[in-house]
Amino acid sequence: MTAYRNMMEIFMEQLFDDRKDQIDCCTCPECRSDIIALALNQLPPRYVCTHKGELLSKVEQLAKQNRADALTALTQAAERVKEFPRH
């Protein structure tokens, strides 16, 4: 890997896709983007620029507290988008 990446973005996209059937709001592409962006604003970024850093970041994301924090942020973001959808 030669460029930097925010692994939290990838993680949140996967988490959203895994949980979208359980989210009680619209999951169209625009709402999906809004929910993920709002959730990411509540979480610390995890930038990596090497394959080793990517692997370490993935291991860290599996920690129960990190996963719980991400799910909480995603749920709160979905509630906000549900109240004020832009589509």
This prediction's pTM: 0.84
Q: What is the DSSP letter of 28?
A: S
Distance of CA 69 to the CA centre of its chain: 10
Using one digit for the tens of pLDDT, what is the confidence trace for 56-84?
776 676 677 788 999 999 999 999 999 99
| Residue-wise pLDDT tens digits, 16-26 | 999 999 988 99
Phi/psi at 50 (nearest 5 deg)? -135, 160
Q: Map tokens 């990446």 to a residue.
A: 5
